Amino acid sequence: MEFFKAGSTHIDFVGKKKFFAVFSLVLIVVALVAIFIEDVAGGINWGIDFAGGTVVEIEFQKDIPPEQIRQVVEGLGYKKNVIQRSTLGEEKNHSEYIIRVERIAILSREDANKLEKELKQRFAGKLVYFGFDADSGDQLDLRFSAPVTEAEVAKVVGQAADVIGRRELKQVKVKKQGREDENRYLVLITGVAAQLDSAFKEKMPEAQPTIRKVEFVGPQVGEKLRNDGILAMLYAILGILAYVAFRFNLQFAPGAVIALAHDALLTVGLFALTGLEINLTFVAAVLTVIGYSVNDTIVIYDRIRENMARIRSKPLEEVVNTSLNEVLNRTVLTSVTTLLALLGLLVMGFGEIRDFAIAMTFGVVVGTYSSVYVASSLTLYLDKMMKKMRA
């Protein structure tokens, strides 16, 4: 199958290298602005994997479609969520889901400040310490200057629920902490998992929902995952730099690596500009794009190197043009067939699968473009620079 028959195209790729160099620089500037200037595009929207949150594994004794699960979760105010089915839905009377939401604690810092103010008024100066850490879940550390009972603490906290608009505070567990002579209490509030459990039991009682497992991804763990994801991309690029330098020479290697960095940066910029989540699935997509792009680049480089040995009498610009035209059919076919596969994911996918398809589709287009214009043009630039240094 040939879109372009061998020897039938004579496109002047090299002649347009200055235009596309400016075009790439403009795209890079737009991407950097979208990533680092939050007032323009809101910055990077870190997903739950990187920002932290609660992971709940829940089982239903009925086949429940993902759309109904998402409707209940978003109805509780968790707009940033990931709904992942852990069974294929082949069993008519059974389904399991992994639900991720962006909150570890139901109470926000603002809610906690309102609650602290209300409790200090109601306890008439007895409350001397109010401790709340959203990263530790929904619990309060209360210390008093005078003796109080567990029932009294629970009652006052429940009364404050209507004032701050958090009904979860009406059902709390109070445990005395420390020594007997210490007036210190731990207040456990209905958490994210319990809230989801109550909502599903209320909306889908016939499905008999059961919480099987609850995990927390704290901000520190999320930050580590985020750093590891960035390092994974850097290691991939450095490994490719070493391979291309060994497989070809230093005249080719920088062009390949800069083209890869160009593809990764523009893909991140697209997600920052559109507000799509950047998570572990996105990192997988970028690494796949890097692999796809370098494969295309190496095929082009291999043909350039072959033609450099075969037609030594011609200048390198003409050799590069000839090589790009010779592999044009292969480049187009590879890109089109990959995009056809991704089209199904774009149309039928949802959630993380759709985001993965968006990153891959954009990455394939940008990767093909960078292999033809960025990597090849940089090779010509480095060749001229090396000749000047020799002179």
**Residue 76 confidence class, pLDDT cut points 50, 70, 90:** confident
Q: Please state whether the predicted TM-score (pTM) of the whole model is above 0.85.
A: no
Contacts 24+ apart (CB under 8 A), 240-248: 240/290, 240/294, 244/294, 244/298, 244/301, 247/298, 248/301, 248/305
Structure tokens at 112: 């906690």
- So what's the pLDDT on residue 369? 93
- So what's the pLDDT on residue 89? 47
- So what's the pLDDT on residue 229? 81
H or E element at residue 256: helix 253-274
**Residue 42 confidence class, pLDDT cut points 50, 70, 90:** low
How many whole angstroms separate alpha carbon 115 and alpha carbon 166? 10
DSSP letters spanning 162-186? HHHT-GGGGSEEEEEES-TT--EEE
Closest CA relative to residue 358, chosen from 282, 296, 287: 282
Q: Give the count of alpha carbons within 13 A of 330, CB side only.
A: 15
**Winning range, highest mean pLDDT, from 29-43, 198-212, 218-232, 240-254:** 198-212
- So what's the pLDDT on residue 342? 92
Domain 14-46+220-386, what fold? Multidrug efflux transporter AcrB transmembrane fold (1.20.1640)
Could you tell me which residue, 318 or 166, shows the higher pLDDT?
318
Tens-digit pLDDT profile for residues 229-246: 888 888 888 888 788 778
**Winning range, highest mean pLDDT, from 1-10, 14-23, 35-44:** 14-23
Which residue is it, tokens 């230093």?
250
Question: What is the mean pLDDT of the segment spanning 66-81?
Answer: 86
Q: Say yes or no to pLDDT of 360 above 70.
A: yes
* Residue 155 to residues 123, 158, 159, 197, 364, Cα–Cα distance (Å): 11, 5, 6, 24, 60
Single-letter code of the amino acid located at 286? V
Give the whole-number percent of the chain exceeding pLDDT 90.
Answer: 13
Tens-digit pLDDT profile for residues 314-351: 888 888 898 898 888 888 888 999 999 999 888 887 77
* Cα-to-chain-centroid distance, residue 278: 2
Question: What is the mean pLDDT of the segment spanning 198-207?
Answer: 89
H or E element at residue 7: none
Tens-digit pLDDT profile for residues 261-270: 899 999 999 9
Question: What is the mean pLDDT of the segment spanning 346-366?
Answer: 88
Domain 109-190, CATH among 1.10.357, 3.30.1360, 3.40.50, 1.10.4160: 3.30.1360
How many whole angstroms separate alpha carbon 367 and alpha carbon 361? 10
- So what's the pLDDT on residue 137? 65
- So what's the pLDDT on residue 239? 85
Contact 81, 73 (CB under 8 A): yes
- Alpha helices (H) along 275-370: 280-310, 316-326, 328-348, 352-369
R_g of the chain, CA atoms, integer Å? 29
Structure tokens at 110: 């603002």
**Residue 40 confidence class, pLDDT cut points 50, 70, 90:** low
Mean pLDDT of the chain: 83
Tens-digit pLDDT profile for residues 289-298: 888 888 888 8
Q: Say yes or no to pLDDT of 90 above 60.
A: no
Domain 53-105+193-217, CATH among 1.20.1250.20, 3.40.640.10, 3.30.70.3220, 3.40.190.290: 3.30.70.3220
| Domain residue ranges of the chain, discontinuous segments joined by + | 14-46+220-386, 53-105+193-217, 109-190
- So what's the pLDDT on residue 27? 94
